[in-house]
Amino acid sequence: MNIREIEQLLGNEADSLLKHQPKISRERLHVPGPDFVDRVWLNSDRSPSVLRNLQLLFNTGRLGGTGYLSILPVDQGIEHSAGASFAPNPDYFDPENIVKLAIEGHCNAVASTLGILGACSRKYAHKIPFILKINHNEFLSFPNSYDQIMFGSVKQGFDMGAVAIGATVYFGSEESKRQIQEVSHAFQLAHELGMVTILWCYLRNAAFKTKDKDFHFAADLTGQANHLGVTIQADIIKQKLPTTNGGFEALKFGKTSPEVYTKLASDNPIDLTRYQVANCYMGRCGLINSGGESKGAGDLAEAVKTAVVNKRAGGMGLISGRKAFQKPLKDGVALLHAIQDVYLAKEVTVA
C-alpha cells in the first residue's frame, strides 16, 4: 500500500491527520527507530536478557529493524467468550491457526493465553516471539463481573519460551489496587527472568460513561492510566485510541491542570494520542494502540487510520486482533499488512 492508497482510505480526514502539528513537539519525544533499544533503554535497569528480548521483538516480521511493532493479540476467547470471538471464523478455535496467522501476517509477535500458546509452543516458540497474557476477565460469572484475575504465571511463560509477559489492569475499578500490586510483582519477576513486560492499561468504571460521552476513551484519563503503567515498569503500554478528552473535569474527580486541555492537547486525534505518549515517559516506554472490534467492510480503513494516528503521534505500533482473525486467513493477512504499510511508509512521519 502506497501513500496514495493510504490517503484514499483516510478520505476527507487525510489532511487533518497527515499535516497536523501537535501541541507537544516531536523534539520532546523519544521516537521509535532502529536504534531504540540502544538509544533509550541501554542505561536503564533492564538486564541484558530483557534488552535482548526487546530487540528480538523489534527485529521480527515485516517491521523488523524499524523500531515499530505489529502484534496479533488473541485473548478474546476469555475476555468476550469463545463463541462471540470465533464464530465468525471457527478455524480460530484451534490455537495453531492463531499462531499461523501471526506468522503469515509477518507480525513482530503473537500475544495470547496460557492455553493457546502452551498448546503449540514447541512447534512455534522459536519461529515467532510469544507474549503470554497472564491475567484475564473471565466472562462466565452471572451476573457478569469485571475483574482481572491470574490465569497463568510468569514462570510458565518463561518455560514455554515466551519473550514477554502481558497483563491488564482495570484502572479506576474497585479491584485496581489489588491488580496493580499483582502485576507489579509479576513484572518484577519477568524482568528478573529476562522477559519484556507489556501492560494493557484499560479503564473500567461505570461512572466513566455518562449520557453524553464515554470517558473510558478520554485522553486525560487514559494518559494517567499509562503513567501508572510505566510506574510499575511496563516496557510497552497497550492503550485504546482516545476519542475525547476532559474526563477529570467532566467527572469532577482527581486532579488535573487546565493546560492539559489547552497547551498540551487539542481535539485532533493525533494531539489526544500524543498526550498518551507523553504519559509513557515521553515515549521511552512505547505506546501501542489497540485495533478495536471488527465492524465488517470498514475495518481496513479504520485500521489504517488508527495506525496513521499512532505513528504520527509518536506511538510504537498497533496491536490488532479481531479485525484480523474474524476474517478468512487471506483477508486477515491483508489487513495486518496494510497496518504495517503505514509504518513502512516514509511519507507518514512522526508529527
Q: How many residues does the chain have?
A: 351
Contact at 8 Å (CB) between 243 and 217? yes
Q: pLDDT tens for residues 10-22? A: 999 999 999 999 9
Structure pTM? 0.97
3-state SS track over 113-128: CHHHHHHCHHHHCCCC
pLDDT over 70 for what percent of the chain? 100
Query: What is the C-alpha separation between 318 and 112, in angstroms, rounded?
Result: 15
pLDDT at 317: 98
**Residue ranges of E strands in 248-346:** 286-290, 317-319
pLDDT band at 294 (very low <50, low <70, confident <90, very high): confident
Query: What is the C-alpha separation between 200 and 229, in angstroms, rounded?
Result: 8
Lowest mean per-residue pLDDT among 98-102, 245-249, 322-326:
322-326
Query: What is the C-alpha separation between 302 and 291, in angstroms, rounded?
Result: 8
Section 333-344 average pLDDT: 96
pLDDT over 90 for what percent of the chain? 93
The answer on pLDDT for 50 being more than 90 is yes
Section 63-80 average pLDDT: 95
Name the DSSP letter for residue 240.
P
**Burial of 106 from C-beta contacts in 10 A (0-12 / 13-18 / 19+):** middle
Contact at 8 Å (CB) between 334 and 105? no
The answer on pLDDT for 336 being more than 90 is yes
Section 322-332 average pLDDT: 91
pLDDT band at 139 (very low <50, low <70, confident <90, very high): confident
The answer on pLDDT for 292 being more than 80 is no
> Looking at the annotation, which residues are catalytic?
238
Section 118-138 average pLDDT: 97
**CATH of the domain spanning 3-344:** 3.20.20.70
Section 199-217 average pLDDT: 97
Lowest mean per-residue pLDDT among 119-123, 125-129, 295-299, 306-310:
295-299
Count of CA atoms in the C-beta half-sphere (13 A) of 294: 22
The answer on pLDDT for 145 being more than 90 is no
pLDDT band at 293 (very low <50, low <70, confident <90, very high): confident
Section 260-272 average pLDDT: 97
Task: Name the average pLDDT for the chain.
Answer: 96
pLDDT at 3: 96
Type of residue found at 280:
C
Q: Which residues contact 94 (CB under 8 A, 6 or more apart)?
A: none
pLDDT band at 48 (very low <50, low <70, confident <90, very high): very high
Q: Which helix (H) or strand (E) holds 172?
A: none
pLDDT at 236: 98
Query: What is the C-alpha separation between 160 and 168, in angstroms, rounded?
Result: 20
The answer on pLDDT for 170 being more than 90 is yes
The answer on pLDDT for 296 being more than 80 is no
pLDDT band at 264 (very low <50, low <70, confident <90, very high): very high
The answer on pLDDT for 321 being more than 90 is no
pLDDT at 269: 98
Section 46-72 average pLDDT: 98
Section 53-80 average pLDDT: 96
Q: Which own/partner contact pairs does 40-46 have at CB distance under 8 Å and 24+ positions apart? A: 40/284, 41/235, 41/284, 46/191, 46/235
Q: Where are the domains of the chain?
A: 3-344
